[in-house]
Chain A
Amino acid sequence: GESVGLHLPTLSVQEGDNSIINCAYSNSASDYFIWYKQESGKGPQFIIDIRSNMDKRQGQRVTVLLNKTVKHLSLQIAATQPGDSAVYFCAENNLGGTDKLIFGTGTRLQVFP
């Protein structure tokens, strides 16, 4: 099937370890951020979002951290599983402005046993 992101930065982790995927965003006016997971041959799948009035948000096994000072976003995945293997994208949006998501460069997460 299709392979997304053949030349993307790659993070390799052992099953059960925690993963941290980083993203730098570009627009200081962005106030809404989303992490998407994309498996080969599929569309992006929503993981977790965060608004700029927060610096941390937790979901099931995932945590997103936002540092507006340095325009940095991270996704932490606890107890990484083989099913987490995919390409991960961060996306930014300005809720008060144009309604489009700007995607960052993806990171390929590889989970090995």
Chain B
Amino acid sequence: DTGVSQDPRHKITKRGQNVTFRCDPISEHNRLYWYRQTLGQGPEFLTYFQNEAQLEKSRLLSDRFSAERPKGSFSTLEIQRTEQGDSAMYLCASSPRTGGSILDTEAFFGQGTRLTVV
């Protein structure tokens, strides 16, 4: 399978616990994005990386959230002291976009990690 891979697919955690999600992008895709999706809504942008550099973070990404992409390949999204409002689908996407090109902007999404905070 050469698509975007996310792990785990489902996570149930108690309020106050920390959770970490992993995303493996399509090989050689230099851009990696994290989105969050709640029921009935479209995905909302959280943050994105160009290789290992985190270039933008949404206001949705509170201090409890941290994302890393240490070697420019896989990425992790950690949520500390989870709250019930963090319950959502966390989606990862990757793109071969190198910046400014109009030829390689399509973003491919993974299947997501469904987080439930109880």
Name A residues whose Cβ lies closer than 8 Å to a Cβ of B. Answer: 2-8, 32, 34, 36, 41-46, 49, 51, 89, 91, 93, 95-96, 98-106
Contacts and interface: CB of A to CB of B under 8 A. Distances in A.
Interface in B25-67: 31, 33, 35, 37, 39-45, 48, 55-56, 58
B109 A99 contact: no
Contacts of B31: 99
A95 B102 contact: yes
B42 A105 contact: yes
Contacts of B76: none
Interface of B: 4, 31, 33, 35, 37, 39-45, 48, 55-56, 58, 89, 91, 93, 97, 99-100, 102, 105-112, 114
Main secondary structure of the interface of A (DSSP, over half): loop
Contacts of B110: 43
Contact of A100 (B4, B33, B41, B106): B33
B45 A43 contact: no
Contact of B56 (A3, A96, A98): A98
B42 A103 contact: yes
B70 to A, nearest CB: 20
B45 A101 contact: yes
Contacts of A43: 4, 91, 93, 109-112
7 contacts: A42-B112, A49-B106, A91-B42, A101-B33, A101-B35, A104-B42, A105-B42
Contact of B109 (A4, A45, A93): A45
A2 B91 contact: no
A51 to B, nearest CB: 6
Given A43-B110, A43-B112, A99 B43 contact: no
**Which 10 pairs show the lowest CB-CB distances between chains A and B?**
A103-B42, A43-B109, A100-B45, A44-B109, A89-B42, A7-B40, A43-B111, A43-B112, A5-B40, A103-B43
